[in-house]
Structures are given as C-alpha cells and as structure tokens.
Amino acid sequence: MKILDIALTANRNLWRSKLRTMLTILAIFIGGFTLTLTTALNTGASQYLDRQLGNIAVPGIFEVTPKVDFNPVGGDDGLREYDPDNKPASFDSFYSASMTQEDIDKVKKVEGIESVVPMYQVASEYIIGTTGKKFALNMVQQNFGLNLDLASGRHLKANDTASVVMPEGYLQALGMDAQHAINNKVTIAYKDRTGKVIERQFTIVGVARKAIVTTGTVHMDVNSVKTMAEDQGQPERYLELIATFKDANESTDESALKARLEGAGTYTATSFKESIGTLTTVVGAITAALNVVGIIALLAASFGIINTLLMSVYERTQEIGLMKALGMRRGKVFLLFAFEAALVGFWGSVVAVGAAIGASALINNYASANFLKDFEGFTLLVVNPGGALFVIGLIMLIAFVAGTLPAIKASRLNPIEALRSE
C-alpha cells in the first residue's frame, strides 16, 4: 500500500464515527483559532511598525543628545491657538543643551563611526493655514531621511527648499485635509536673533499619519532649517547628532556601540532599534501570552485525539488483525493510524484558520472605526499565507505526535489474538 493510499484510507476511516471526529476537531479548533489570531496580531503590528519606521530600525544608527530631561519636540496632541505670552517655561532650556561642532568632532573620533549628521534645533512661534488663524508651533524638525508613514504626498528630498511634511492631526485646524493639503501653502513664523518675527511660506509636500513612534512634528527640509538657524544666530547649535557606525548588522552588539558614544562625552546615545524596543516587547509579550493559551488548548485537544484513536483501535481490532494477516507490515499499520491523527489536526486547523480569517475581517472593521481610527493604515489582524501554513503545520505535527501512542498500540497487535477478539 502506497503512502497516498494510506492517507486516503486513513481519511475514510476517520469519518466512520462522524460525531466523535467532529468533537475532536472542535477541540483542536479552539487552539488553532487562538494561534491564528495571535499570529495575525503579531503580523499586523509588525507590518504597521515597519511601514511607520522605515529605515529607523537599521542597525548601527544612534541619536546622540546631551544628558537633559526636557524634550522640546513635543507630542501629537494637535495644535492650540498661539499666545505670545504663554510659551512653556522649560522651552528655552533646550538652547543650553545644544550640541556644537566640538561635539561633532568628538563623536567622529569614536571607533567605527562612518558619518555624523547634525540635527538643527530651530525654535518657531506659530503657523498659519488657510483659515488665517495663528496656532502655536514651538519647534520644527529637520528631516534626515526618516521614512515616515505618509497619508499623501511624498518625503522630503535633499534639494528641497521651503517644503514641509505636516502631521495629519494638524490639518483640520489649518483648514485642510490629507488628500487636498499637498501643494497648499502654510506660513511658519520664527524670531531672529534680534527678536524680530519673520514669516516664511512653505509648501506642503507630504502628510504624515499619526504614528505610535514618530510624534506629531512638522518636518522641514534641511536647507530651510539651516537658514532659520542662521537667522537665529545659531548656525552651529544642534538639537542632536545622528551617528552611523559602518559595517553594523543585525548581529552587532549595539550596547557596545552605545557605550563608545556615551564615553566620548556627556551624552545619551539611543539606537533607533532601541527606541522601538518597548513597543516590540509589548507586542511580543501579548502575542506570546496568547500563544501559550492556544498551545495549552492544543495540548488538551491532543488527549482527545489519543482517546479518539484508542477507541478506534479497540473497535477495529479484528480489522487490524485481518490486515496484518494479509501481509500489512507493522510500519504501515502505524502510518495508517498516525495519518488519521494528522488528518484530525489538518481538518481542525483548516476550519480554525478559515474562521480566524472571517473573524479578523470583522475585528479589523470594528477596530478601524473605533480605537484605531486615529491610526490610519494600521490593520490590527493580518492573516498571511505563511502564518496560516505555520499554524496548520504546527497543529498537524502536534496531532501526529499525539497519535503515535494509539498507532504503536495498533501496530503491535498480534494478528491471531486480534482476529479472535470479540
């Protein structure tokens, strides 16, 4: 009997007792359904973070800053109306925490450094959109090539001038929306070294979606940021340095690179991979916990498989004896029952994956309309073919292992005693 014949015979034997088989499949379904959803959650979160971060997770790239507590960049809480007499008390503290050419020279001397890109720190006053109303804008940030998750438009280029990428959350206050903001003009005001307010017009070239990691920041082309910094008398004062090590890869010990940078001065060095470590850890912990639940359910279901096949061996003792008397070897008897176990896992996992795909569509629709509505492009659950095949393969393996005990029992039956059994 060929392997294909054994598999087809096993499938026919499996459905002799439909109710018992269906109940066993149902037990497997619970674990398979849970595993598929947790795999989909991990895939969805990973895809969203990858799309958001782009090149942010490239090994060997660090943000180097002075050791200070204040972060002038701010968050993504939207815009408030401009009040010249109500600037944050700690806002000016970032001037004293600036980095200079001396810091660039120190970092460049660190062993293994390939490049050091200074990030200008530029204070701004307010921004004006199509409504004509002024809104406070404490700072704009130079873009150094970060691959932002865009709702529309494009990323900033090295040769851009008077161009910005706006956070999507700011557009409503400015009288725009993501689809129609591109090529619109905004006015950004800042004070020069004498305290005079200068207003300059900028073209919106891209709109950045609200993101978990990249905060709501107005990203400006480097040429404009440099001009503003010079007007403010700080052409060589920088918010931070972007340090890149050469020959860094996934296996590089970034803690050693971090120690080198922090040892070059009074600095805090944070790798781009480290900056998203908390998020990936949380996602990993949640999916791992749910995977444990799924595995426990599958282990419980494996006892159901053992019981089902032991009952099948007991009911078909004479049939097994006849097959062995007619020349079927122990190995093929073993395979016959082991295949039955694997097929129970196959059908249970296929039903589970199918149900999980349907449930994922419903959950994604609900999530996008409710708690994920501010994170456009975040598909919470993504069931991809690779993940589905992994779940099916894993469950079939567990079922196959569970079926080995009944299969061994069947293969060891004495054909004469089996034929005599009642």
Q: What is the percent of the chain with per-residue pLDDT over 90, rounded to a whole number? A: 33
Per-residue model confidence as pLDDT tens digits over 21-54? 898 899 899 889 989 998 898 888 878 777 666 5
Q: Give the per-residue pLDDT at 308.
A: 85
Distance from C-alpha of 104 to C-alpha of 102, rounded to nearest angstrom: 5
Mean per-residue pLDDT, 115-130: 87
- Looking at residue 192, its amino acid is D
Per-residue model confidence as pLDDT tens digits over 270-283? 887 676 666 667 77
Query: Which SS3 state, helix, strand or coil, does residue 226 take?
Result: helix
Per-residue model confidence as pLDDT tens digits over 367-405? 888 888 777 678 889 999 998 999 999 999 999 999 999
Distances (CA, A) of 296 to 247, 257, 345: 43, 41, 15
Predicted TM-score of the model (pTM): 0.62
Kindly indicate the confidence band of residue 71, based on its pLDDT and cuts at 50, 70 and 90. very low
Distance from C-alpha of 148 to C-alpha of 55, rounded to nearest angstrom: 9
Neighbours of 409 (CB within 10 A): 16
Q: Which residues pair with 80 in a beta bridge?
A: none
Element of type H or E holding 238: strand 238-245
Q: Give the per-residue pLDDT at 90.
A: 42
> How high is the mean pLDDT of the chain?
83
Say if residue 145's pLDDT is above 80. no
The tokens for 217 are 């920041």
Mean per-residue pLDDT, 155-184: 91
Say if residue 123's pLDDT is above 50. yes
- Residue from 129, 29, 39 nearest 78 by CA: 129
Residue 327 CB partners (closer than 8 Å, separation 6+): none
Mean per-residue pLDDT, 298-312: 86
Per-residue model confidence as pLDDT tens digits over 308-356? 888 888 888 888 888 888 888 888 889 898 999 999 999 999 999 999 9
